[in-house]
């Protein structure tokens, strides 16, 4: 457990780590060395950081730690998707999902425990909002997954052994832009050449449309942007995405146009969950064409993953196909997301369906075995 006076170094981006080391009387280059040990080598033992001065290692050993959230469970789907449930304290847990593909490996990261946006089609929203994650808890998911996958890769033959995290999407539990102050340093670490070295094009923030924070992200650190749209008019979106009542579609489209002026990609990705008889008619598709006429974009159609509390059903495959065709006939790039990891509840919209129950069960198990030391390893 973290000592109240112990600093978790995963909380610091490059600037923060320089300031921390400066407070220890150390020069900035020591922060770069330390950052490489943490994020490129996965080191947690300061004594193993052999190019740091012994005096610095001694200071760090008593004042700092490198601590990612503890792993509660680690499941691998039949399609290779891997999902970790990680404990973020006080009976809260979040889920992190790795999706391997032939040419890339994408990690889906959570930014909040629960979510306050409460979209009708998302099981995470039905859990309610518990709290924001810290920078350490956000980047700790990438840190944990990166080094767990490196260990797995070393044990497997090619081509599986060649899979690495090449893309990160902030599409897990929570609304990233409602936890901006913790998300921004984590994004900086993802892009930092002394940490994970990802390009801005390979880091995507997904938002349900928090317009002021979209503008702020564009000014501070424009990465790729995905917008959870899910409706073609305000009346429908008010029902599906309650945030729309605060930031209606005309404001959202204007924010997308502003973001594109600084974005690393020349388009916005619109996520659109396909709901049977709700938002999937040809008329809805034609409304989308008109709505996005002035916003260079691509559509990612997502077959809904049903859960009991939603009262919603997945659109039929033929309906999704016809819907996509209307968009494509209008010149819009359109893809249909392949459902991945649904056998381990890792598909889009399924995160946290039973998180609270699993977390309580894990806590009861820890309490019952409190006299023993239990270590949970990712692989």
Please identify every residue annotated as catalytic: 95, 348
**φ/ψ (deg, to 5) at 336:** -110, 120
Distance of alpha carbon 92 from the chain centroid: 17
Q: Which residues contact 307 (CB under 8 A, 6 or more apart)?
A: 123, 126, 349, 350, 353
Q: Which residues contact 354 (CB under 8 A, 6 or more apart)?
A: 345
| DSSP SS3 for 331 | coil
Nearest CA-CA partner of 184 in 221, 150, 154 = 221
- Which residues on adjacent β-strands are paired with residue 121? none
Element (H, E) at 273: strand 268-274
Nearest CA-CA partner of 285 in 227, 238, 325 = 325
Distance CA 96, CA 82 (A): 8
Q: Report residue 127 as tokens.
A: 């859990």
Q: What is the DSSP string of 70-136?
A: EEEEEEE-TTS-EEEEEEEETTEEEEEEEEE-SS-EEEE---EEE-SS--TT-HHHHH-EEEEPPHH
Distance CA 336, CA 318 (A): 12
Which position has the token pair 């997301």? 337
- Which residues on adjacent β-strands are paired with residue 132? 112
Distance CA 217, CA 262 (A): 10
Distance CA 278, CA 238 (A): 13
β-strands 105-108, 92-100 pairing: antiparallel
DSSP secondary structure letter of residue 275: B
């Amino acid at each position: 457990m973290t000592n109240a006076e112990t600093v978790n170094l995963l909380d610091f981006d490059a600037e923060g780590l320089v300031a921390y080391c400066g407070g220890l009387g150390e020069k900035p280059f020591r922060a770069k060395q330390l950052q490489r040990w943490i994020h490129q080598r996965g080191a947690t033992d300061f004594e193993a950081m052999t190019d740091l001065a012994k005096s610095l290692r001694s200071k760090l050993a008593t004042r700092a730690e490198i601590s990612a959230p503890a792993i509660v469970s680690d499941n691998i789907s039949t399609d290779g998707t891997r999902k970790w449930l990680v404990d973020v304290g006080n009976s809260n847990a979040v889920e992190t999902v790795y999706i391997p593909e032939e040419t890339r490996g994408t990690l889906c990261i959570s930014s909040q425990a629960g979510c306050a946006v409460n979209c009708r089609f998302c099981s995470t929203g039905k859990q309610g909002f518990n709290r924001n994650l810290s920078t350490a808890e956000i980047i700790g998911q990438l840190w944990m997954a990166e080094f767990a996958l490196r260990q797995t890769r070393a044990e497997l033959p090619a081509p599986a052994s060649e899979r690495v995290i090449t893309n990160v999407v902030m599409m897990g539990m929570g609304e990233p832009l409602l936890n901006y102050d913790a998300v921004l340093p984590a994004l900086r670490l993802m892009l930092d050449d002394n940490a994970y070295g990802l390009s801005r094009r390979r880091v995507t923030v997904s938002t349900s449309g928090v317009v002021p924070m979209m503008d702020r992200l564009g000014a501070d650190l424009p990465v790729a942007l995905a917008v959870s749209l899910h409706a073609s008019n305000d009346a429908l979106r008010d029902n599906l995405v309650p945030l729309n009542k605060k930031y209606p579609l005309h404001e959202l489209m204007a924010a997308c146009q502003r973001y594109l002026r600084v974005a690393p990609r020349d388009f916005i990705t619109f996520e659109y969950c396909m709901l049977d008889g709700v938002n999937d008619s040809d008329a809805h598709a034609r409304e989308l064409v008109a709505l996005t006429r002035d916003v260079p974009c691509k559509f990612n159609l997502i077959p809904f993953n049903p859960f009991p509390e939603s009262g919603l059903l997945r659109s039929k495959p033929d309906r999704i196909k016809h819907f996509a065709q209307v968009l494509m006939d209008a010149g819009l790039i359109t893809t249909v997301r392949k459902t991945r990891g649904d056998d381990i509840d890792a598909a889009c919209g399924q995160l946290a369906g039973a998180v609270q129950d699993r977390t309580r069960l894990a806590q009861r198990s820890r309490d019952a075995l409190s006299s023993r030391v239990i270590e949970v390893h990712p692989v």
